[in-house]
Each structure stands twice: as C-alpha cells, then as structure tokens.
A and B are shown apart, each in its own frame.
Chain A
Amino acid sequence: MSIEVKNVSKSFGAYRALKNVSLTVQGGELLALLGPSGSGKTTLLRIIAGLDHPDEGQVLIDGEDLSKQALRDRRVGFVFQHYSLFRNMSVFDNVAFGLRVRPRKQRPGDGEIKRRVDELLGLVQLDQLAARYPAQLSGGQRQRVALARALAIEPKVLLLDEPFGALDARVRKDLRRWMRKLHEEINVTSVFVTHDQEEALELADRIAIMNAAQIEQVASPSEAYDRPATEFVSEFLGFANRMPCKVVEGVAQIGDFVLAVDLGAYTGDAVAYIRPYEIALKKLNGEDATARATVDSIVALGPNARVDLDYGGHRLEALIDREELAALGLAAGDICAIGFSRAHIFKTA
C-alpha cells in the first residue's frame, strides 16, 4: 500500500520542522528518510504515523486520508527508537497486545492469538524467549520484539524510527541484513528514519535525503550517490572533496581541469565535488603533466590507501588501491600528476 505525503508543513513554536514536504512511497517499497539530526525526518515519520498532526497538507495511505480515523483503525505499525516495550509484560504479551486490545468483534480467540504470536516470534527468531521480560533482553532482541509487536496488527505500512540507532556496530550490521531479508519476505511498505548513510544505502530501495526541514532528493541509493541533486546531498552522502570553480557557458574550470557541465548557459561561480576515488594519480613523467599535486601523507585503510594531496593550496583526499599505490612508488613529499575522472558541479547561490 502506498503512502502519499502532500505539501506537509509543521512548526513547533517558532521552529519550523517541515516546510512544504511532499513524498510518495510506493507499495511494498522500503524507503529511508536520511538526514542529519534536526532535519525533520522523525517529525515526518510521526506525521505519517498519525502521532503528530501537520499544520498544513495531508497524508494519504493507500489513497485515503487517515487523519479522521482513530489510530486503532489505521493499522500503522510503528517501531520506536527506544523500542518502548511494555516493561510490565512478557515478550509474548507485548506481541499479543495489539491483538488483545481489538474490539470484541474483531478480536481473535486465545488459541488464534497464541498461534499468531508464536508465528511472529518465530519470524523474528525469538521463540525461545517468549516468557522473558524486556529488561532481560539484549538490545538486538528488544528491537526484534518491537518489530514483531508492530507486525502483529498486520499493518498496512510499517514505520521505524532509527531502528538500529541504539545498537552496537556489530549487532547493527547483522540486524540490517536480517531486516532486508525480512522485508523481502513480508513485503510491507516500510519507511525508516536514519542518520547513518551506510544503513540507508544498504537497506533501502530508495532514499529520501532531508536537510533543514525539506527533502533534497529522493532516489535509489546508487543514483543518489552517483548523481546527487544538490550540494547538500553530495556533501552528506559519503565524503567528497570540495573545490570552488568557475563556469563559463556550460564549461567548468576546476583548477587546471576543464569539464563540460549541465548547467545550461550559466556563467559564474560554482563549486565542484569530487569523490576520493574519482581522483586518479599518475607518476610524473617529463614535464607535460598539466596538474601537479604534492603528497602530504599516506594512510593505509585496509586494501586501500588514502592519499592526502596539496593541489595548489587545496587539500584533496584521494583513495586508491594499495597495490596500485605501490606500483606508483609514491611517498610523502613526492609530487605527482592528478586527474579527475568525474565531478559534480553546483552553482553557488
């Protein structure tokens, strides 16, 4: 079932949390709301959930405006950042809660509830822990209980607020992979909030990148990475070297380089973003090389090496294969030739 956010604005006092935000989530999709803290992503999620009300605009779930409906009829599954498990209930009772609070007519019988809860606990691999209390579980286990509890009401959409935020790195990685598999299995339209770009890139079908109460770009992970729509996106997604440049009628001059850019007939100042692996290093042979940079330092990072360069006063980071580096025989203090295989260029406003 699809989610449609239409021109939603929200303020808390003088603080504008969302400015005219629109977003469409397709049925069965797993979408990430990615952004730095304070960008409005949790507010947007809470508005989709119906926990907060927008000042303007509306949210349609499966084409229906749910703001008039009681929360119990909306069937929106929500996994809270700190899980918010019911501490006075066992794992089983936590998961069963959503079924037990249904009006008498829609409530399944005890046997049916038990069957459904056991099935869900099996799905999140916690069947052994049904009798435990939340305080007796690890962070990862609590997270999965929260997920099972949200799924128990057979939600039309599943919303997750920083689902892995409170976990340590190792567990986070495992859970991420597990969650992707689970999504493929149950295929519920899902939106999750995260500030961790790696998480968004790995898990999501599409990413909505938020900044300062607005959505900057909605795209698939690879598209957002390869073709950032705005300066913010290119800076936020992965690291990119920033270099001021000049554009004259669609041609950018970045240091010694000239690149054709898609800015129409724009002429004026611009800024170029170059990813570390988009910088090629070459041995200086003869004097024909147009662009020269000094190697400041070299740091080994697993199979790669980060080479810090001084290029006409600009600090650049390049990332190259360590074997390749060895073949070049570069060391700190050397001068080498550099080339940009690609750059993203934005007008400076």
Chain B
Amino acid sequence: MSAANAPPFEANTEMRRDRPALRDPRWARWAIFIFGIGFLTLFVVLPVVTVGIEAFRKGVPAYLDALSQPDTISAIDMTLSVAAIAVPLNCIFGVAAAWALGKFDFRGKTVVMSLIDLPFSVSPVISGMVFLLLFGLQGWFGGWLRDHHLKIVFALPGLVLATMFVTLPFVARELIPLMQEQGTDEEEAARMLGAGGWRIFFSITLPNIKWALLYGVLLCNARAMGEFGAVSVVSGHIRGLTNTLPLQVDILYNEYNMVAAFSVASLLAGLALVTLIVKSFLEWRYADQLALTRR
C-alpha cells in the first residue's frame, strides 16, 4: 500500500484485523473524511478567514485607524468592563450552584437544574426585553429607580445583568457532572481528619474541579464578550457610551463601513482564537496533572 493513497485516518493494520468494525471500504472512509473537512471549512474556517481578509482590505493603516476611533475604544472598554464584572460573578455562582447540586440531595433539585439551563433555551433577545420590562422607565421598578437616580437599563448595570443572564449556565454546566461523578468521598475523608468546611472546599473540592472550572470560565468569558441579542436590547445603542464590541460591529456594518466593521469583528474573532489557544496550551502544559486527577 503506497502512502500517497492511504486515507489520512488509516487505522494500523493490526487494529483493523482485530476490529472488523474498522474494515470499511476505502471509498467510504474517503467520503466521510472529505465531508467532515468540507463541512468544517465551509462553516468555520471560511467565515473566520473572511473576517481577516475584509478587515485588512484597505491595508494595515486603515485597520489600525478603524480600531483607534473613540467609539471603538469606548466599545472595547465597555466589553471588557462587562466581562470583568459578569464573569467573576457567574464563576462564583456556578461553583456554588454546582457544589449544591453535585454534592447534595434536596427536594426541588431537578427544578433548580432546569432553571440553570433556562438561559440556554430562551432567546437572548427575550431575556433583554425582560430586563427592559423590569428596570426600564415604564417597567415595574422604573419609577422607583428614577426617584433614586439609579440607572440600570441603557447603562453598564443593565449590560452586566443581561450578560450574566445569558452566560449563567456556562460554569455550572461544566462543573455539575464532574462534581456528581466525584461524589463526596474525599470531602467526608477530610471531615473525618478534622478539616473545617472552608478548608475542605479550598484544599479538596476546588483543586479537584479546577480544570473544568477553567474551561467553564473561558467559555463563559468568550460568550460574555460576544453576546449580542440581550445586550442589544438593554444597551440603547448610545454611541461611545453603552456600545459593546458586537453592537459596534453591527452599527458600523449598517453604515456600510465594511473595513471598520470587519476590523472590530476581527478583535472578537481574535478573542475566540486566543481562548482556544489558551485552552490547548493549558491542556498540553498540564496533561500529566490532568491525567492524575481524573483517576
């Protein structure tokens, strides 16, 4: 068999002899391979590449110019602020919720579990509307908030609330199955050895979930920075004030300012890439530790 026409995922011969399930005809293997790569190219690689090409269509100076517009700088600032508040809060909530759901049995556990999943199934636009209904001028708490000179909607607090709602499940969902699987054996052992609650949490529970927690936080952060729908409703699109990066992209695009729109978009795409690279790097760097703690 020549190497040139061997399918790229050729199982070694010994394996194929032992496992009839892997003895598919060559054309089938090729077909599946091409379909997989083609699909990935069309729906993932191509869009990302397009963003890059469009951003640099008029050269590097135009790209840098688009990014240094005051409105864009303000949008970057806003996005970072929202993420800086929403992600840590969700991280704390996620750990607490996963701890309660994964380690204890109580009445109504399934209800809480579905509630945590709710933001996944509700359209972000609707969740934005809900906050508008609650805290907007005509909303339930609108009058009270105005009397006390508090601004939630069309301001940073509203953006944080909407973002938190949408990204609520990320950390908890990542942790619950792991914590359930790990059970409470180690915590019980620590308790028998005389450790207190906080000590058990910080030296047993937390180290055992740190990798899942990190993934959860990375995903949560990526989503928090990229969220469009919910944020769009509560932001009010006040330029230079309440726009986040995705909203800024939308505005620039609607003004037919393609280079600027794609330049800003490239920041978001870059963020996704960085997230991926950080995740892969950590996995590679700590592979041995990961294997050890997984049991």
Contact = CB atoms under 8 A, between A and B. Distances in A.
A225 interface: no
Given A71-B194, A98-B194, A101-B199, A84 B295 contact: no
5 contacts: A51-B192, A77-B192, A84-B188, A87-B292, A88-B292
Contacts of B195: 72, 97, 101
Interface string B183-206: 001101111111110010001100
B142 to A, nearest CB: 49
B292 A133 contact: yes
A84 B292 contact: no
Contact of B192 (A76, A102, A133): A76
Contacts of A149: 189, 193
Interface in B140-191: 185-186, 188-191
Contact of B292 (A98, A135, A150, A152): A135
A84 B190 CA distance: 9
Given A87-B295, A88-B208, A71 B185 contact: no
Contacts of A135: 291-295
A80 B190 CA distance: 11
Contacts of B139: none
Interface string A127-154: 0000001111000000000000110110
A49 B191 CA distance: 11
A15 to B, nearest CB: 15
B88 interface: no
B158 to A, nearest CB: 40
Nearest to B195: A101
Interface string A50-79: 010000000000000000000111011110
Contacts of A51: 188, 191-192
Nearest to B208: A88
B293 A78 contact: no
A22 B295 CA distance: 39
Of B193, B194, B195, B294, the most chain A CB neighbours within 10 A belong to B193
B196 A72 contact: yes
A86 B292 contact: no
A176 interface: no
B194 A101 contact: yes
Contacts of A80: 185, 188-189
Contacts of A134: 295
Closest 9 pairs (CB-CB, A-B): A72-B194, A98-B193, A84-B185, A84-B189, A88-B207, A101-B195, A78-B192, A133-B292, A135-B292
A88 B293 contact: yes
What range describes how many residues of A lie at the interface?
20 to 34
Of A84, A85, A153, the most chain B CB neighbours within 10 A belong to A84
A149 B188 CA distance: 13
B193 A101 contact: yes
Of B189, B203, B204, B208, the most chain A CB neighbours within 10 A belong to B189
A185 B194 CA distance: 25
Nearest to A135: B292
Contacts of B191: 51, 71
Contacts of B194: 71-73, 75, 98, 101-102, 153
Contacts of B208: 87-88
A97 B193 CA distance: 7
Nearest to A78: B192
Given A51-B188, A86-B190, A98-B194, 18 more contacts: A49-B192, A51-B191, A51-B192, A72-B196, A75-B194, A80-B189, A84-B188, A86-B186, A86-B204, A87-B186, A87-B293, A88-B204, A88-B207, A88-B292, A88-B293, A97-B195, A101-B196, A150-B192
A116 to B, nearest CB: 14
A80 B293 CA distance: 19
Nearest to B182: A87
B222 to A, nearest CB: 27
A106 to B, nearest CB: 10
Nearest to B207: A88
Contacts of A86: 186, 189-190, 203-204
Given A86-B204, A98-B194, A101-B195, A78 B292 contact: no
A339 to B, nearest CB: 53
B170 to A, nearest CB: 23
A277 to B, nearest CB: 42
A82 interface: yes
Contacts of B199: 101
A94 to B, nearest CB: 9
A83 to B, nearest CB: 8
A76 B294 CA distance: 29
A150 B193 CA distance: 7
A133 B294 CA distance: 12
Contacts of B204: 86, 88
Interface in B258-295: 291-295
A152 B196 CA distance: 17
Given A88-B207, A88-B208, A88-B293, A82 B192 contact: no
